Amino acid sequence: MSFFEKLKSGLKNTKDAIADKITGLINSFTKIDEDFFEELEETLILSDIGAVTSANICEALRKEVKAKGVTDPAEVKGLLKNIISDILEGDNGLMLDTKPSVILVIGVNGAGKTTTIGKLAYNLKNSGKKVIVAAADTFRAAAIEQLEVWTERAGVEIVKHAEGADPAAVVFDAVKAGMARNADVIICDTAGRLHNKKNLMDELKKIARTIENNAPNSRVETLLVLDATTGQNAVNQARLFKETAEITGIVLTKLDGTAKGGIIIPIKEELGIPVKLVGVGEKINDLQNFVPQDYVNVLFSE
């Protein structure tokens, strides 16, 4: 399956939930009037795009329709595609321009951090990069073992300590190892106990300081992993994490099998953080770079 086809099959439920409704709406109107805009806004809200973002999209559409003198509802689809891809556009690629670069992966338990790291390590290795993974979710032994299985699959090195060790100490060792072994990318797993916000915040700060102190010239990508199936909740999580960390990108996981993939739009629009990667399955080759134009093309494909 090609990349695009995989994205298409992953986004099938989302497409059914959004595009098919919009197409239905467009086909049931012969002119673009106030009723049309109202129904469109409602449709967008029901598609997990969120009230604020849906209103903004409709506002932008009104302007476009007016400016271009559009009267046929059939032309709205093309305009919507442009408006949505404009929202999603911006720094969507991973910044890995230093050697080493560091990727810090954060998010609540179960969001898909460890799985994403396995897939990402695999992709980076396949693109010719030397990768070291830091098992800095030391909260449970099972978390370290799970990451180890993934690094074996991906064929990359892992730096680990025992269960209960200081996560920042694991990151420290991984950074040192990365420099000594001439690694291109160091990817750090972390724990995600958001119910203990103060601890998590302190832990993430300490890890960030460790990277800053020991690899001051390294680019640091802090990726927040969000589970698409949680819908609006994912946006709320992103708000909380934004208070604790300098998030540079979002990884949206479990896009396959959810109809809530529209959530990608308010995440970017309301938080201003670009989506960089999307998870479309549980296998090692199920992580893709996020390309807004592809997403929009899939969403509005026939």
Q: Which residues bind ligand GDP (CB under 6 A)?
A: 107, 109-115, 192, 225, 253-254, 256-257, 279-282, 286
Minimal distance, residue 287 CB to ligand GDP, in Å: 7
Given Mg ion, ligand GDP, none, residue 95, with its beta carbon under 5 to 8 Å by kind, binds none
Minimal distance, residue 223 CB to ligand GDP, in Å: 11
Minimal distance, residue 288 CB to ligand GDP, in Å: 10
Report the alpha-carbon distance of residue 294 to residue 8 in Å, rounded: 9
Locate the DSSP E strands across the chain. 101-106, 131-136, 157-159, 185-190, 220-227, 249-253, 275-279, 287-289
- Which residues 6+ apart lie within 8 Å of 58 measured at CB? 37, 40, 41, 44
Given ligand GDP, Mg ion, none, residue 190, with its beta carbon under 5 to 8 Å by kind, binds none
Minimal distance, residue 5 CB to ligand GDP, in Å: 16
Q: Which of 114, 116, 151, 244 binds Mg ion (CB under 5 A)?
A: 114
Given Mg ion, ligand GDP, none, residue 210, with its beta carbon under 5 to 8 Å by kind, binds none
Contacting range for Mg ion; rule: CB under 5 A; set: 107-115, 165-173, 248-256, 273-281: 107-115
Site string for Mg ion, 132-171 (x = CB under 5 A): -----------x----------------------------
Report the alpha-carbon distance of residue 282 to residue 130 in Å, rounded: 23
Report the alpha-carbon distance of residue 256 to residue 9 in Å, rounded: 7
Given Mg ion, ligand GDP, none, residue 50, with its beta carbon under 5 to 8 Å by kind, binds none
Nearer to ligand GDP, 214 or 229 (CB): 229
Strand partners, 251: 225, 277
Identity of the residue numbered 276: K
Which residue's Cβ lies closest to ligand GDP? 279
Given ligand GDP, Mg ion, none, residue 91, with its beta carbon under 5 to 8 Å by kind, binds none
Nearer to Mg ion, 15 or 113 (CB): 113
Residues in region 50-89 near Mg ion by CB under 5 A = none
User: How many residues contact Mg ion, by CB under 5 A?
Assistant: 3
Nearer to ligand GDP, 25 or 201 (CB): 201
Minimal distance, residue 108 CB to ligand GDP, in Å: 7
DSSP string, 219-256: -EEEEEEEEGGGTHHHHHHHHHHHHHS---EEEEE--T
Nearer to ligand GDP, 56 or 190 (CB): 190
Task: Say how many Å lie between the first and final Cα of the chain, rounded.
Answer: 19
Residue showing tokens 């951090």: 113
Contacting range for Mg ion; rule: CB under 5 A; set: 24-32, 86-94, 105-113, 199-207: 105-113
Nearer to Mg ion, 143 or 287 (CB): 143
Provide the binding-site residues for Mg ion, judged by CB under 5 A.
Answer: 113-114, 143
